[in-house]
Amino acid sequence: MKVALLAILGLFLGALGGAALGIGAGLAWVEIAQTTSFEGYSGMLVFFTFIPLGAAIGGVGGALLFGLLAMRDDAIAIERAPAAEPARSQD
């Protein structure tokens, strides 16, 4: 259950981060390729091409990363066991 929840969290966070990177990549593409802005073409290019691609790639990457981290719980402590209480001397 923990693996699935962390994979969903990774999907959500990866999609948000990927969409943000998609905006940056799209704006860079528009400037480098000098895409025309006639009737908002450059904005539509960024909104309908780069944002969905970035969100899809980021979502899959985030889900895989968080899922692998959850499965490797023995190597990377996500849930820590409670610390043992120190032994008390009987006086």
Is the model's pLDDT at 45 over the cut of 70? yes
pLDDT score for 80: 63
Contacts of 30 (CB under 8 A, 6+ apart): 42, 45, 46
* Contact predicate 63/12, CB 8 Å: no
pLDDT score for 2: 79
pTM of the model: 0.72
pLDDT score for 75: 54
Longest dimension (CA), the chain: 87
* Contact predicate 30/82, CB 8 Å: no
pLDDT per residue over 12-25, tens digit each? 999 999 999 999 99
pLDDT score for 37: 86
